[in-house]
Amino acid sequence: MVLKASVQGLEIVDKARKKKGWTKTVTVAWWQDALTTQATLRRFWRGIPIQSESFMNICHAVGISNWQDIVDKITDEEGESLEISYQEDWGEAPQLSTFYGRTEELTQLQEWIVNDRCRLVAFLGMGGIGKTALSVMLADKIQHNFDYLIWRSLRYSTSAKDLLTQIVQFLSNRKIEDLPTEFNSAVSLLIEYLKSHRCLVIFDGAEAIISQGETSEFYKEGYENWGELIKRLGQQRHKSTVIFTSREQFSEIAFLEEETPQVRSLLVSNLDKAAAFEIFKSKGLLDESHWERLLQIYRGNPLFLKLISGYIKNSFSGKVSDFLKLETIFIGDIQPILDASWQRLSILQKKVMFQLATNPGTLETIKLNQSVSTSEILESLQALQRRSLIERQLEGDEVIYGLQPIVKKYVVKQLN
């Protein structure tokens, strides 16, 4: 059975949560006490029907025992219709206790997916930049436009077949237990469900199925057919949206972007200053007049900012000025994130990074120092930009390529 809150009911709940000092959707204790998810709590506040057990638990968590007073009246026929009208499976999606900035990105993505009906969308960017958080926040924001929502992390996927089986079983309401053994037939079955229902499917951490470094095979063993899956998801007509978040671009998506307006990519870039300062404030940093200098060093990667803020808080009692007096770029716990990106680079991409670490320059100066074709240099620069590992600046009519300070420090360490 599903229930939804009435307007008057929401007013009662709002008063109850204010007494507890809780926010509407950001207080982690609320959805934990209610044994539910942040996404379900958001749906509750929007007056969207949710499962009755979650509804009652949300009310009980703020001290409302008579949950019947909160319910909007739903007829039996409406209830049956609502039961099957929307289903969600958040899989390994993280709970978001905080989310900073990204207003423009969320607006643009909502336009692409809800209004333009994009079939395939990729979120690209370096580790820690916030692709996963953005996908969760976006899904939560637009889920009411879909019949089904399923979120899966490819980092934890055992095999391509198991993953496809999970998705088809979910979209078929368990009517399908086993997929056809032939891969293209299994994909055809998936696309039939994407045609018959409006589904939002999110594959997070998609770089996990891509081979690292120098290899003749783009996809890891067991995922060799995923290039064909991606092509068909972008080319064939259906009324759903499939999102990939990845540190690397898929060649199939890059190609499809040029062929159809229903396939698009978003390079998730640094947070703006206002959002970065929110992080500094939330972490208890002092010396606000020095925050801009800290941001210049670590840029707007939200995970980098959280990690360095935590270090300054613990080691310097939050005094940013004392940390900056050392005149060093501290990598610390950021190292594993950069290691993961570095391991995925080709030999040529690493050579370009080494050159830019010691001497930022134009395409021409990079070419002079590498005994490869211009095309190969351009491909390497494009791949590095998509990973947010290099920066571009216009100086007059010339484009200058360089590295942000924290990445430069890391690359120099690799040289030694």
Q: Any idea where the domains of the chain sit in the sequence? A: 2-85, 89-267, 273-330, 336-415
Q: Mean pLDDT, to the nearest integer, of 368-373?
A: 71
pLDDT over 60 (residue 326): yes
Structure confidence at residue 216 (pLDDT) = 47
pLDDT of residue 394: 81
pLDDT 10s digits, 152-208: 999 887 677 788 888 898 888 888 877 788 888 989 999 999 999 999 999 999 988
Q: What is the pLDDT of residue 322?
A: 95
Buried b (16+ CB within 10 A) or exposed e, 75-89: eeeeeeebeeebbbe
Q: Report whether pLDDT(86) > 70.
A: no
Confidence (pLDDT) at 217:
57
- In whole numbers, what is the pLDDT of the chain averaged over residues? 87
Note whether 344 and 214 are within 8 A (CB). Answer: no
> Going by CATH, does the domain composed of 89-267 fall within 3.40.50.300?
yes
**Which structure tokens are listed for 246?**
């990845």
pLDDT of the residue at 122: 95
Confidence band, pLDDT 50/70/90 cuts, at residue 26: confident
Predicted confidence (pLDDT) at residue 148 exceeds the cutoff of 70: yes
Confidence bin at 263 (pLDDT 50/70/90): very high
pLDDT score of 31:
80
Task: Flag whether pLDDT at 45 surpasses 50.
Answer: yes
Q: Return the closest-CA partner of residue 299 out of 266, 325, 272.
A: 272
Retrieve residue 391's tokens: 């920066």
- Domain at 336-415, CATH from 1.10.10.10, 1.10.150.120, 3.40.50.970, 3.40.190.10: 1.10.10.10
Average pLDDT rounded to a whole number, residues 31-54: 82
Determine the average pLDDT of the residues in 255-273.
Answer: 93
**Per-residue pLDDT tens over the stretch 179-190:** 788 888 989 999
Averaged pLDDT, 395-406: 85
Task: With a cut of 60, say whether residue 75 has pLDDT above it.
Answer: no
Among 3.90.1150.10, 3.40.1670.10, 3.30.930.10, 1.10.260.40, name the CATH number for the domain at 2-85. Answer: 1.10.260.40
Examine the pLDDT at 84 and tell me if it is beyond 50: no
Task: Judge whether residue 384 has pLDDT over 50.
Answer: yes
Same fold for the pair 2-85 and 336-415? no
**pLDDT value of residue 214:** 52
HEC assignment per residue over the chain: CEECECHHHHHHHHHHHHHHCCCCCCCHHHHHHCCCCHHHHHHHHCCCCEEHHHHHHHHHHCCCCCHHHCECCCCHHHHHHHHHHCEEECCCCCCCCCCCCCHHHHHHHHHHHHHCCCCEEEEECCCCCCHHHHHHHHHHHHHHHCCEEEEEEHHHCCCHHHHHHHHHHHHCCCCCCCCCCCHHHHHHHHHHHHHHCCEEEEEECHHHHECCCCCCCCECCCCCCHHHHHHHHHHCCCCCEEEEEECCCCHHHHHHHHHCCCEEEEECCCCCHHHHHHHHHHCCCECHHHHHHHHHHHCCCHHHHHHHHHHHHHHHCCEHHHHHCCCCCCCHHHHHHHHHHHHCCCHHHHHHHHHHHHCCECHHHHHHCCCCCHHHHHHHHHHHHHCCCCEEEEECCEEEEECCHHHHHHHHHHHC
The CA–CA distances, whole Å, from 338 to 207, 230, 347, 369, 402 equal 14, 27, 16, 25, 16
Q: What is the pLDDT of residue 83?
A: 47
- C-alpha span between 229 and 84 (Å, rounded): 27
Q: What is the pLDDT of residue 27?
A: 78
pLDDT at 368: 62
pLDDT at 196: 92
pLDDT value of position 210: 84
Q: What is the pTM of this model?
A: 0.80
For 411, the token pair is 């690359």
Say what the pLDDT of residue 79 is: 53
**What average pLDDT score do residues 316-339 get?**
93
Per-residue pLDDT tens for 296-319? 999 899 999 999 999 999 999 999
- pLDDT grade for 112, boundaries at 50, 70 and 90: very high
